[in-house]
Amino acid sequence: MQTEAQVQGLGEFACQGFALEHPDDHLLFLMHESELVAMFSQTGATQESLQDECARHLAEKHLWK
């Protein structure tokens, strides 16, 4: 289940199968349908960087425009 902060960070992508996982206190995993898309430092991840990575993944792997 996604928290409100995760949904806010992912924006529109939260409804498209993306999720955030926190494996430890320092890392943040961006997942799409259980596939690891990107890893971020928790201190370096921003809404913009998360959403940019979501868009990049959809464009490259799922031919999204």
Three-state SS string across the chain, please?
Answer: CCCHHHHHHHHHHHHHCEEEECCCCCEEEEEECCEEEEEEECCCCCHHHHHHHHHHHHHHHHCCC
pTM summary value: 0.87
Given CA atoms 12, 43, 21, 30 in this order, what sign does their dihedral have? positive
pLDDT at position 1, please?
A: 60
pLDDT at position 47, please?
A: 94
Q: What is the pLDDT along the chain (65 residues), one digit of tens a residue?
A: 667 777 788 999 999 999 999 999 999 999 999 999 999 998 989 999 999 999 999 999 988 76
